[in-house]
Amino acid sequence: MPAIEIDALEKSYGDVKALSGVDLTVPEGSFFGLLGPNGAGKTTFINILVGLVRATGGTAKVFGHDVESEYQAARDCIGLAPQEFNVDRFFPIREVLAHKAGYHGISKERARNRAAKVLKRVGIYEKRNTRFDWLSGGMKRRFVLARALITNPDLLILDEPTAGVDVQLRRELWETITKLNEGGTTILLTTHYIEEAERLCDEVAILDSGRVIDVASPETLMNRGTDDIVVKLRDSPTAIPDLTSNDDRIVTVNLDGRRIVITAHRGGLVAPEIVRKLDASGHEIIDLEIKRTSLEEVFVEMTRSDERESTEMTAP
């Protein structure tokens, strides 16, 4: 059974269509990314899943439970680490966690144990008697993750979990959530750090203006972009060596003195061919570099061209 099953989901706020017919399936156990520019509808999508916003059309199910008609069952499967901090500020954080567990029907004793366990897991156990207000920004992020984990959720929703944190903490958070996913927790992640999605997600959906414009693995999406293979030769060829014959993956070849820049799809696979051909034609290679396109570049291109289309469509 899929962790999330969305069918023709719509949400309008007056004239604004935050979601206009989203279909999406997130398989159980996957690490799934939801990417999109500001205002694409990501938060609206998450808020519908957790019952904070009511859809104006379509259906959403979490582990088979409809998020409206079976709200409690659906909600009990989800741990949410929201973008904004909305935490009781005046209690020691271990108490905040124990309360939350109690609210979900976990006994006092077990709640205390679970609170200790999740605080250890995110690495702030030594701060257990501190109020939320007194934590550093990075610790607050960790705490919000701990709170999402307190009910041992099957689906963990992380809304920009590493926004504004330093590189070190980002890596630590990545490690923590990767372990959770390896342990079987399905993860839905939104992020503006596209590199984060590239590293962590096995599948991503690109959302733009309330529509899913693509769903694929980061690898598949990156293969749509072009890579640059930069070769430095010992000699300076007088003409561009013939590298393109029988290879439609190659887009352009440019010669600049001893440097040849080959722009190609799937640069990693094309490069050995290039090396062979140059070698066969008597050129000695002294340096080779493959600059892979990033998911970021493909993402920017996809969402930008979409914007262009929509302006063209609305142009008089």
Interface residues with ligand ATP (CB under 6 A) are: 13, 16, 18, 36, 38-44
> What is the C-alpha radius of gyration for the chain, rounded to an integer number of angstroms?
24
Instruction: Closer to ligand ATP by CB, 8 or 52: give it.
Output: 52
Instruction: Closer to ligand ATP by CB, 86 or 129: give it.
Output: 86
* Least distance CB 266 / ligand ATP (angstroms): 31
- Per the CB < 8 A criterion, the answer to whether 58 and 97 are in contact is no
Among the listed residues 127, 176, 132, 135, the one whose alpha carbon sits nearest the alpha carbon of residue 156: 176
Q: At 228, is the secondary structure helix, strand, or coil?
A: strand
Instruction: Closer to ligand ATP by CB, 84 or 109: give it.
Output: 84
Instruction: Closer to ligand ATP by CB, 36 or 267: give it.
Output: 36
Sign of CA dihedral 238, 239, 242, 243: positive
Instruction: Closer to ligand ATP by CB, 42 or 114: give it.
Output: 42
For the residues of 6-17, what is the DSSP string, one character each?
Answer: EEEEEEEETTEE
Q: What is the 3-state secondary structure (H, E, C) of 88-109?
A: CCCCEHHHHHHHHHHHCCCCHH
* Least distance CB 84 / ligand ATP (angstroms): 10
Instruction: Closer to ligand ATP by CB, 18 or 146: give it.
Output: 18
Instruction: Closer to ligand ATP by CB, 11 or 147: give it.
Output: 11
* Least distance CB 42 / ligand ATP (angstroms): 3
* Least distance CB 190 / ligand ATP (angstroms): 7
Tokens describing residue 264: 């190609």
State the Cα–Cα distance between residues 75 and 280, nearest whole angstrom: 63
- Helix, strand, coil in percent for the chain, rounding step 5: 40, 30, 35
State the Cα–Cα distance between residues 69 and 55, nearest whole angstrom: 12
* Least distance CB 32 / ligand ATP (angstroms): 15
* Least distance CB 13 / ligand ATP (angstroms): 3
- Per the CB < 8 A criterion, the answer to whether 159 and 43 are in contact is yes
* Least distance CB 34 / ligand ATP (angstroms): 8
State the Cα–Cα distance between residues 127 and 274, nearest whole angstrom: 56
User: What's the chain's length in residues?
Assistant: 316
* Least distance CB 36 / ligand ATP (angstroms): 5
For the residues of 158-205, what is the DSSP string, one character each?
Answer: EESTTTT--HHHHHHHHHHHHHHHHTT-EEEEE-S-HHHHHHH-SEEE
Instruction: Closer to ligand ATP by CB, 8 or 16: give it.
Output: 16
